[in-house]
Every structure is written in structure tokens, then in C-alpha cells.
Structure 1
Amino acid sequence: MTLQDMTDEFGTMVSPTTLVIRRWLPGPVDRIWSYLIDGEKRRKWLAAGEMTLSPGAPLELVWRNDELSSPSDPRPEDIPAEHRLESRVIAFDPLRSLTIAWGNGEVTFELEPKGDRVLLTLTHTGLSERSAKLMVSAGWHAHLDLLVSEASGSTPASFWASWSSLKAEYANRIPS
């Protein structure tokens, strides 16, 4: 199986509690690494928050997804305008991998350069409830699509519309 075969538009539950999503990004790898560790760059596709690359270092992620959406794409009423997650850096290997705590699980970003592109593999563990699987799968999918657009210099889709349609699609893909 080639790396080309390993990417799919949608994430996959590779175990009952683990989601994996892959995306090809334009390199070089150091530029993509900066989108993971630099709070200002990360806020353009995911969440703000200063990061110290040290195992155990605290990390607060701050989502303001309205900033990633067009004014004509309103936030769902049951979702707050801002969300914060107290986290910590678990491990890192510069330009290769970053693992952070995420609730009862972890999120690992792995970067694999191939020519002028970089394969990003995101693994999110600790997803036990179906509702969390749907929210997180759609969220990572939409946020990684924003990262692809940001890294490629293309116009991104509006976050909320994308997330809402993806949540419905993942409801069809993830068994009850």
C-alpha cells in the first residue's frame, strides 16, 4: 500500500475509541510543523494558545470558530462562541510528531515529508461516546480542511456549514 492509498477524505475509527484522519499538505515539513506549534498560525485553522515544547508543559487551546466562518454562516445555537480546553504537551519529536492531552485521551499529529508534500496523520484516542465521536470527527475533518486551505493559500470553506454537513455524514459512517 502506498501513502497515496492511505489517505481518505474521511476519518476512520480504527478502534472503538480511536479516530485517524490523514491529509496531504504542501511542504516543506518545517512550515507545516509551525502550523501545529505556533499559536497565531494554529488559530487560523484550529485554536489559539501558546505552546511550550516541553513534556508536561501546560497548554490551553481556545476555539473561536466564528472567526473561521463567514458572517452568513451562523454558529449552531447549542454551541458557545468560545471553547477552552486545558491540556498539556505529552511528547514531541520536532518536525515529526506532537502528542497533546485531550480530555480522557490524546491527540497525536505525525508529519511525514514525501517530496514537496507532507502527510499529516492525526490520531485522536479516548473517544468512547458516539456523540463525542461525531462532534470530534466532524470537527477534525473541518479543521484539517481549513489547514489544507491555509497551507495551500486557497480560500477555505466556512467552518460552521462544513462542520454541520460533516457531522451528518459521520453520523452515517460511525455505527451506533
Structure 2
Amino acid sequence: MSDLATTDLAARSPYGVLTDPATLTIQRLLPGPIERIWAYLTESDLRRQWLASGEMEMAVGSPVEFVWRNHELTNPPGERPPGFGEEHRMESRITELDPPHRLAITWGSTGGVSFELERKGSEVLLTLVHRRVPDRATLLNVSSGWHAHLDILAARAAGEEPQPFWENWSRLKEEYGRRLPE
């Protein structure tokens, strides 16, 4: 995707799009500087405020255990949908690292997730790519999940209070069900 196309994608819509049949790309234009957004990606205490905690040694091949406690992300958290527990853990590994521009990690049974940061004046364009999502059910979960988590990151980076996580996630899952092809 060209620089112009990615910037246009972020400016047009906060929704993720399929850039391949099994690849979700989602972008956010965030207040900088880039080093601060990098810290939100890599430092456990900051990352747990929008996604999941877990210490991250900054080296390719290093393991990372992500620990989600989505009910702690917003106050109030909203009502948790059936099938979700209070905590979820996932073992990952760093596959690419170019601070403060690129971080790629393994992600469960999918092809992995990459985060790219690009300076855009005083803002930072975050491009998240989740590759090789195996099926539609997983695609709807990761699309709505990334969108809801990035909404929280954008609010935190702007010094605002994010909306209740679980209500946003549930609304987004329905919306992605309409937006993404069967």
C-alpha cells in the first residue's frame, strides 16, 4: 500500500479493511511523538492500559506473554459477552523489531501481527496488520477486538476517557459482520 493510500485509509475511516482475504489492516492517526506511541506498544504498564500487559525484551526471538484483563481497561468496563473470562493469556514471540518504527509478533494460530509507526508532522500514523486470520469467526473477533483496543489507545494518547470496552467491542463485532465479506 502506498504512503498516500495508507494515510487516506486512516483519514477516511477508523474501521479495518481486508487488504488480502485473510489479512486485516487497521490504522489510527495518534498524537505524537512517535517515541510515546512506541512506549504504548512495548512497555507493559502502558500497554496494559489499552491492550494487555506482559514484559517485552526488545530483541527478535524474545518471548512475550500477553495478559488481557479487558474489564480493567475502562471504567465502567461494560457487560462482558458470554464466552469471555476475566483473564486471557497468550504466548507470543517478537519476529521483527526496528524501534520506534516497526514491531512484529506471533499471534496465536494466525500469521502474526505487525505494528508500524510513521511520523506525520506532530502526529503518528499507526498501521496494524493482522495476517493469515484462519476463518470468518476469528476475523470478526480480531477486527472488533483490534478496533476497540485501538479506540482505547487513541483516547489514552489524547488524554481522554475511553468508552466502555465491552459495549464498544459488541457493537463493533456486529458492524464488522456487516462490513466484511462472508
For the criterion TM > 0.5, the same-fold answer is yes
Whole-angstrom CA distance in 1 between matches of 2:80 and 2:169 = 10
Paired residue for 1:79?
84
SS of the aligned residue for 1:56 comes to coil
Q: Distance in 2 between matches of 1:121 and 1:25?
A: 11
Corresponding position: 1:56 with 2:61: yes
Aligned to 2:8: 5
Q: Does the 8 A contact of 2:25 with 2:127 survive in 1?
A: yes
Task: Give the match for residue 110 of structure 1.
Answer: 116
CA distance in 2, matches of 1:72, 1:140: 16
Q: 1:43 to 1:72 in 2, by over 3 A?
A: closer
Aligned residues: CA RMSD = 1.2
Say if 2:83 is the partner of 1:45.
no
SS of corresponding position for 2:53: coil
Q: Does 1:150 align with 2:156?
A: yes
Matched length? 176
Letter of the 2:88 partner, please give it: H
Aligned to 1:14: 19
Q: Which runs of 5+ in 2 are unaligned?
A: none
Q: Aligned pair in 2 of structure 1 residues 72, 49: CA closer, same or farther (>3 Å)?
A: closer
For 1:126, the equivalent position in structure 2 comes to 132
Residues in 1 aligned to 2:15 and 2:170: alpha-carbon distance in whole angstroms: 14
- In structure 1, list runs of 5 or more residues that go unmatched: none
Q: Percent identity?
A: 49
Paired with 2:125 and 2:178, the residues of 1 have a C-alpha distance of 26
| TM-score normalised to structure 1 length | 0.96
Q: Which runs of 4+ in 1 moved over 6 A?
A: none
Cα deviation, residue 31, structure 1: 0.5
